[in-house]
Amino acid sequence: MVTPWLAPVVWEGTFNPNLLDSIYKLKNIRIAATVFAVGKYTIFLKNFLETAEQHFFVGFQVHVYVFTDRPLDVPQVKMSAGRQLTVRSVPNSQRWQEISARRMELIQKLIEDNLHSYADYIFCLDVDSQFHGRWGTESLGGLVGVIHPGYYRDDRSRFPYERRPESRAYVAPGEGDFYYCGGAFGGTLEEVHLLTKTCHTNFIDDAKEGIEAAWQEESHLNRYMWINKPSKVLSPEYLWQDFKPRNPEVHLVRFSGVIKNYAAIRPNV
């Protein structure tokens, strides 16, 4: 399955994992993953990190970057050889929208701080989630988006894009390819640097004019990926939601958002 611009759409059964792994083993690739756990969201880290050990790029060099305001709450999770974790301190915030959106700026800075010495590819993931199945070399590409599980069966007119033309995240009626997740995206350092920098700048410029896009950085990411088509698109297998029963076309849930009580864990409602 491919998009109209000939990017693969990755579903179970469309690739040979062993063949792909053998190709990328020769290249000695290094993968970075970012995950933010600010305020009470540190409770999600243990399960996220433990399941990543079981399913995320097993057998490859992986460097997980945890961004948190509570470094003492980062659990000790045993990591296999070739895998490591770095904790980066970030300030807290009283608004979840700001915590979520600020990720773009902090990922941009991480890449600028010489990440090239440590990684070739990067994936940026929500912490309130867990791995259930393989997420590996089949997901690699220049710019990689994940189709949101809540909208993949819908017509684009139903996608929750930002619809106010004043916003830099605006997507006009009739435009847009997929509705992509804010909770998982990635690609090469160069592509993700450009994405995060653009989304961050547009978010700030919107804020100066008193406008916040409907789904914060997710809206900006969707605008970005409409203009700059991803070179690989991951199916909703790569970010399902635990509260949703598995649809028949989804043979394998690889990664999913856990069920959470928003009121209990977010700083604001």
Quickly tell me which residue has 């990720």 as its tokens: 103
Residue ranges in 44-83 that form contacts with ligand UD2 under rule CB under 6 A: none
Residue tagged active-site, from 138, 162, 191, 218: 218
Contact flag: residue 126 with Mn ion (CB under 5 A): yes
Sketch the per residue contact string, 151 through 170, with ligand UD2: x for CB under 6 A, - otherwise.
--------------------
**DSSP assignment of 30-65, as one string?**
EEEEEEEE-GGGGGGHHHHHHHHHHHBSTTSEEEEE
Determine which residue in the list 128, 138, 177, 206 makes contact with ligand UD2, applying CB under 6 A. Answer: 128
Secondary structure class of 160 (helix, strand, coil): coil
Nearer to Mn ion, 50 or 120 (CB): 50
118 is in an annotated binding site: no
Nearer to ligand UD2 among residue 24 and residue 221 (C-beta): 221
Q: Is residue 216 a contact point for ligand UD2 (CB under 6 A)?
A: yes
Q: How far is the CB of 141 from ligand UD2 (least distance, A)?
A: 19
Residue 268's φ and ψ, nearest 5 degrees, are -140, 165
Taking the C-alpha atoms of residue 239 and residue 178, their distance in angstroms, rounded to an integer, is 14
Among 10, 31, 99, 119, interactor with ligand UD2 by CB under 6 A:
99
Regarding beta strands 9-10 and 30-37, do their DSSP bridges make them parallel or antiparallel, or are they unpaired? unpaired
Q: DSSP strand E in 151-220: where?
A: 180-188
The listed partner (Mn ion, ligand UD2, none) that binds 185, CB under 5 to 8 Å by sort, is: none
In the residue annotation, 212 being an active-site residue is answered as no
Give the C-alpha separation, 72 to 87, whole Å.
Answer: 10
128 touches Mn ion (CB under 5 A): yes
Dist CA 250 CA 122 (whole Å):
25
**Residue 218 binding Mn ion, by CB under 5 A:** no
Q: Which is nearer to ligand UD2, 24 or 203 (CB)?
A: 203
Q: Does 177 bind ligand UD2 (CB under 6 A)?
A: no
Contact pick of 33, 38, 45, 110 for ligand UD2 (by CB under 6 A): 38
Output the residue with the shortest Cβ distance to ligand UD2: 182
218 binds, among ligand UD2, Mn ion, none (CB under 5 to 8 A by kind): ligand UD2
As given in the structure block, the two tokens for residue 248 are 């028949």
Q: Does 217 bind Mn ion (CB under 5 A)?
A: no
Measure the CA–CA gap between 156 and 239, rounded to whole angstroms: 19
CB burial of 134-161 (b: ≥16 within 10 Å; e: otherwise) equals: bbbbbbbbebbbbbbbbbeeeeeeebbb
Q: Which stretch binds Mn ion (CB under 5 A): 7-15, 37-45, 140-148, 180-188?
A: 180-188
Q: With binding defined as CB under 6 A, does residue 135 bind ligand UD2?
A: no
Chain-centre distance for alpha carbon 246: 20
User: What is the rounded distance in angstroms from the CA atom of residue 236 to the CA atom of residue 258?
Assistant: 15
Residue ranges of the annotated binding site are 36-38, 41, 126-128, 148, 218
Q: Which residues are catalytic?
A: 218
